[in-house]
Amino acid sequence: MVVDDGSGEEYAAAFEQAGALPSVTILHHASNLGKGAGLKTGIKYILAQYSQTAGVVTADADGQHHPADVWKLCQRLAKSPTC
């Protein structure tokens, strides 16, 4: 699940490419509402669509977090949802 927080036209191709991947849902804000609003939009969607989910792992797309580390967090959450 990916949230476009109103990033603008210069990022449209990246969101289009991500949305073409299997099982990826893209949510869009019409204008830039900031990271907090993007997180709220994403978490609300996850809770509405997957009410039995164990939790949510979030990562910004600015390269601060390595994708392998995000995946490790997801695997850890799946194994131990109460940790």
Query: In the prediction, which pLDDT does 62 show?
Result: 79
Distance between CA 46 and CA 40 in Å, rounded? 10
Query: In the prediction, which pLDDT does 83 show?
Result: 67
Cβ contact 26:4 at 8 Å:
yes
Rg (CA), the chain: 13
Q: Would you state the structure tokens that stand for residue 67, as one six-digit string?
A: 């994708």
Q: How many domains does the chain have?
A: 1
pLDDT greater than 80 at residue 8: yes
11-40 mean pLDDT: 93
pLDDT greater than 70 at residue 7: yes
Distance between CA 14 and CA 4 in Å, rounded? 10
The Cα-based distances of 14 to 65, 68, 79 in angstroms read: 17, 19, 31
Give per-residue pLDDT as tens, 54-67. Answer: 899 998 877 888 98
Domain that holds residue 34: 2-79
Give per-residue pLDDT as tens, 46-55. Answer: 999 998 888 9
